[in-house]
């Protein structure tokens, strides 16, 4: 499985990269998984401004910064999108990045990891709908972290007490990664 872990926030002081690094470290331990951290901050794009839906525009003139993003996303077999919760939803720049997509996610599994005051659950639900519209196979399991600034350090290490909790963030992540790998293996074979 070639996996992208996408950091979906760009503002200064963001906590999202810590959660992404934690996920990358864990995914890298799984056999037959090649994981890459894709930070949305490295793909600055204009606000979506195309006159016709990208999916239905055969004469699309793609901004070079947008093409860089689309080309990168198309490389992967599976995705984990990591989002904070801003005002009960996902960050605007993350939604904007998805608005430029066509069929890059089609028939590929995607999972959501979130953080925020309620673990980012409301943002996770919104993001699952966005991923579904992109025709990704959105898996049921997700990873939600409440109190990320205390639980995950800058190097992506989970607090030992939280890691030992059999119902805590580590158990959630392990379950999500196992499910994503299963879906990815099945869908890679089906797409072939």
Q: How confident is the model at residue 139 (pLDDT cuts 50, 70, 90)?
A: very high
- Alpha-carbon gap, residue 174 to 153, rounded angstroms: 19
pLDDT of residue 39: 98
Range from 51-55, 76-80, 96-100, 104-108 carrying the lowest mean pLDDT = 51-55
Rounded percentage of the chain residues whose pLDDT exceeds 90: 99
- Tell me how crowded residue 10 is: count the other CB atoms within 10 A of its CB: 18
Reported pTM: 0.97
DSSP H helical ranges for 62-168: 64-74, 92-99, 121-133, 148-151, 160-164
Residue 132: phi and psi, rounded to 5, are: -65, -40
Q: What domains, with CATH codes, occur in the chain?
A: 2-191 (3.40.50.360)
Q: Which residues of 103-135 are buried (b: 16+ CB within 10 A; e: fewer)?
A: ebbeebbbbbbbbbeebbbbbbebbbebbeebb
- Alpha-carbon gap, residue 8 to 25, rounded angstroms: 18
Contact in structure between 4 and 42 (CB atoms under 8 Å):
no
**Can you tell me the mean pLDDT for 50-69?**
94
Task: Look up residue 130 and give its two tokens.
Answer: 């966005």
């Amino acid at each position: 499985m070639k996996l992208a872990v996408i950091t979906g926030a760009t503002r200064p002081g963001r906590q999202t990269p810590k959660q992404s690094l934690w996920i990358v470290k864990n995914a890298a331990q799984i056999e037959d998984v090649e994981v890459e951290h894709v930070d949305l901050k490295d793909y600055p794009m204009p606000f979506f401004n195309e006159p016709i839906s990208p999916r239905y525009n055969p004469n699309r003139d793609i901004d070079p910064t947008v093409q860089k993003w689309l080309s990168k996303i198309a490389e992967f077999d599976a995705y984990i999108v990591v989002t904070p919760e801003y005002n009960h939803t996902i960050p605007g720049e993350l939604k904007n990045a998805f608005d430029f997509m066509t069929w890059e996610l089609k028939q590929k599994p995607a999972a959501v990891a979130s953080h925020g005051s309620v673990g980012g659950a409301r943002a996770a639900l919104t993001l699952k709908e966005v991923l579904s519209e992109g025709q990704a196979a959105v898996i049921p399991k997700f990873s939600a972290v409440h109190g990320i600034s205390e639980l995950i350090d800058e190097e992506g290490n989970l607090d030992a007490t939280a890691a030992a909790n059999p119902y805590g963030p580590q158990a959630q992540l392990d379950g999500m990664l196992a499910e994503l790998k299963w879906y990815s293996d099945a869908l890679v074979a089906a797409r072939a």
